[in-house]
């Protein structure tokens, strides 16, 4: 293995296994990350924040991987490290009416394993609100809203890490100097002009999400949209800034600049966007609930003290109506403790709302026998609850309107389910979900001999893998759309829907979706249902980390079009010799058996 980066004595000792298995695995992943990014320097970091806590997102893959690390007596994080929101409030588990089997036990196991590694079990998606958390300087954070908030407002310097890469950085104390750790990559690339007054935090949430939705395929933004926003007041509240960055992160924004708030570097702007009264009104109209609401959630990201004060003020002297949806308010354990001391918690719970800690609306496994439609004041909640593992229709209104619905002052529609069996009910949605973008499928079968050269991960040794090819020209969303137990693609509209990757050499462009997705691949590996090898057209930050950590053969960046020259079902060979990886067709699938994906 030719290392692309010069290691110091400490780093080399970790890579050699002299500091234990956990740090060796972490350093191996960082070396691979450095190689794929083309950098030759590691920098020490001041803090880490880890995502991948809820059993809903991490699953068996996360639990088994953490158990493997925790079995190493030398496995301890090297720098102050905090933990993201868990999947439930264990103390109020029954009140959350979660029915997923063994969920509380698995949630407890995950938090306990992280704690054994020396991670501070904050169970919070707002580390920037915690006392004692280092939120400036080079870091490795893996929660999208926290990344965008820290990079934008606190002096934090972090990439959008995956759960696995952030953990590797935490164990070793280093990160490759690439991406947003290079000042040149922190320049703005989008100019947004706001021409209407924004006041409520929900207004800012809608703006942040709207910016991400405007992204065009021809924009060159390798690290995501980094907008400059003009037209906002200079005296924004903490809650307004938080709502803006949390929603902007929905579509990959790692940081933003508010014109006039602080100095900013010059940039190359891909486009100039205008957000005015018409756009704001249109989005509120599109997000307004037009069918029955069954649950109201506040606090995504977890509610600050300011948000708790605003909620308590709206609930003062009122009661959540028995004819209205339940109201759940999510916050951190630190903020809840303060709220209890100053009387805010008593007002909120006294009004009949549920005040939850240690969890967040987007990672809860709702019982969909009764949770059919959620109302929130957060575009972050709307984005994640409607997609992925929950897939529940979600509407958005301002906080005051959400509370008004909860106390019966504003009626949308009777929230209670019809007295009909679940199987007989139509699973309605507030708005039709957008169709999947069209994917090109070819009816032309590749023939004849084919061979191509590509790249591999520096940490992997020589290998030869032969097997059946699984091929699709569409990205694969591992979290939520790949069956964790079988490896079958379960995404209607995807050209490979219904096809299994298990036991095959999987060839696809790259992964898409959540940064917690590598744990899905790990679970498939632990269940014996993973692909024999993974081949991407470009480096995939979802597949590559799992392959690096567990030695699943991996290759990318080939000199020829592998997707259109290899057919599904062809017998192929993937071979690594030194630094070179070769893929070649051994036998074409017979015409009568051929199946296109």
Model confidence pLDDT, tens digit, residues 254-289: 999 999 888 899 999 999 999 999 999 999 999 999
> Same CATH topology for 9-184 and 451-593?
no
pLDDT for the residue 3: 61
pLDDT above 80 for 311? yes
- For residue 272, list its beta bridge partners: 191
Q: Which of 67-71, 84-88, 511-515 has the highest mean pLDDT?
A: 84-88
Distance of CA 552 to the CA centre of its chain: 23
Q: Where are the domains of the chain?
A: 9-184, 200-284, 290-420, 451-593
pLDDT tens profile 387-421: 767 889 999 999 999 999 999 999 886 444 333 33
Q: Is the pLDDT of residue 565 over 90?
A: yes
Place of tokens 């990205």: 475
Beta bridge pairs of residue 436: none
- CA Rg, the chain, in Å? 24
pTM (two decimals):
0.88
Say how far residue 551 (Cα) sits from the centre of its chain. Answer: 24
* pLDDT higher than 60, residue 433: no
Catalytic annotation, pick one of 85, 124, 205, 514 = 514
Instruction: State whether residue 328 is helix, strand or coil.
Output: strand
pLDDT in tens, 107-166: 999 999 999 999 999 999 999 999 999 999 999 999 999 999 999 999 999 999 989 999
> Is residue 378 flagged as an active site residue?
no
Burial 456-466 (b: 16+ CB within 10 A, else e): bbbbbeebebe
Please give the C-alpha separations between residue 387 and each of 320, 488, 528, 565, in angstroms, as whole numbers.
28, 18, 27, 33
As to burial, measured by CB atoms within 10 angstroms (0-12 exposed, 13-18 middle, 19+ buried), residue 379 is buried
Q: Which residues contact 458 (CB under 8 A, 6 or more apart)?
A: 1, 2, 3, 4, 31, 32, 35
pLDDT, tens only, 218-243 = 888 988 999 999 999 989 999 999 99
CATH level 2 (architecture), domain 290-420 = 2-Layer Sandwich (3.30)
We find that the CATH architecture of domain 451-593 is: 3-Layer(bba) Sandwich (3.50)
Q: How far is residue 215's CA from residue 408's CA, in Å, rounded to a whole number?
A: 39
Looking at 413-493, which runs of residues are DSSP E strands? 451-456, 463-471, 476-477
- The domain at 9-184 falls in which architecture? 2-Layer Sandwich (3.30)
d(CA 145, CA 327): 23
């Amino acid at each position: 293995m030719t290392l692309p980066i010069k290691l110091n004595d400490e780093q080399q000792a970790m890579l050699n296994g002299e500091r234990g298995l956990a740090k060796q695995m972490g350093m191996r992943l960082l070396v691979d990350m450095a190689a794929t990014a083309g950098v030759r320097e590691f920098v020490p970091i001041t803090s880490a924040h880890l995502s991948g806590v809820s059993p809903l997102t991490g699953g068996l893959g996360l639990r088994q991987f953490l158990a493997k690390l925790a079995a190493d007596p030398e496995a301890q994080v090297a720098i102050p490290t905090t933990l993201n929101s868990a999947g439930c409030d264990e103390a109020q588990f029954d009140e959350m009416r979660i029915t997923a089997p063994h969920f509380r036990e698995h949630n407890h196991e995950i938090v306990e394993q992280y704690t054994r590694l020396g991670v501070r079990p904050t169970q919070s998606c707002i580390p920037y609100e915690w006392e004692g958390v280092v939120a400036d300087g080079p870091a490795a954070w893996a929660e999208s809203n926290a990344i965008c908030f820290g990079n934008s407002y606190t002096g934090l310097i972090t990439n959008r890490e995956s759960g696995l890469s952030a953990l590797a950085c935490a164990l070793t104390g280093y990160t490759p100097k690439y991406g947003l750790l290079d000042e040149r990559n922190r320049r703005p690339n989008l100019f947004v002009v706001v021409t209407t007054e924004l006041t409520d935090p929900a207004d800012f949430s809608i703006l942040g999400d709207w910016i991400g939705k405007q992204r065009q395929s021809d924009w060159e933004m390798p690290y995501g949209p980094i907008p400059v926003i003009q037209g906002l007041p200079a005296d924004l509240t903490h809650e307004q800034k938080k709502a803006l960055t949390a929603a902007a992160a929905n579509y990959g924004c790692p940081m933003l600049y508010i014109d006039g708030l602080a100095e900013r570097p010059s940039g190359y702007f891909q486009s100039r966007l205008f957000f005015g009264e018409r756009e704001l009104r249109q989005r509120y109209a599109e997000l307004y609930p037009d069918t029955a609401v069954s649950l109201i959630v506040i606090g995504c990201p977890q509610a600050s003290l300011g948000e708790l004060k605003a909620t308590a003020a709206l609930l003062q002297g009122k009661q959540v109506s028995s004819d209205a949806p339940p109201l759940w308010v999510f916050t951190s354990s630190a903020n809840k403790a303060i709220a209890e001391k100053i009387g805010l918690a008593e007002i909120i719970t006294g009004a009949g709302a549920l005040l939850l800690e240690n969890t967040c609306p987007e990672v809860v496994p709702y019982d969909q026998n009764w949770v059919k439609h959620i109302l929130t004041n957060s575009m972050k909640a709307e984005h994640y609850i409607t997609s992925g593992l929950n897939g529940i229709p979600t509407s958005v209104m301002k906080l005051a309107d959400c509370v008004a619905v909860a106390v019966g002052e504003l009626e949308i529609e009777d929230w209670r389910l019809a007295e009909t069996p679940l199987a007989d009910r139509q699973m309605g949605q507030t708005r039709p979900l957008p169709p999947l973008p069209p994917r090109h499928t070819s009816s032309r079968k590749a023939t004849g001999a084919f061979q191509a050269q590509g790249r591999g991960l520096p940490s992997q040794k020589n290998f030869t893998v032969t097997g059946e090819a699984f091929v699709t020209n569409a990205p694969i969303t591992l979290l939520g759309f790949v069956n964790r137990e079988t490896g079958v693609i379960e995404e209607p509209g995807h050209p490979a829907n219904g096809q299994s990757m298990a036991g095959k050499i999987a060839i696809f462009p790259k992964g898409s979706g959540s940064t917690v997705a590598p744990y899905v691949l790990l679970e498939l590996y632990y269940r014996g249902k993973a692909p024999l090898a993974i081949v991407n057209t470009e480096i995939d930050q979802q597949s590559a980390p799992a392959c690096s950590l567990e030695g699943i053969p991996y290759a990318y960046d080939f000199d020829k079009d592998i997707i259109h020259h290899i057919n599904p079902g062809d017998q192929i060979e993937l071979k690594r010799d030194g630094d070179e990886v070769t893929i070649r067709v051994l036998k074409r699938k017979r015409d009568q058996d051929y199946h296109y994906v």
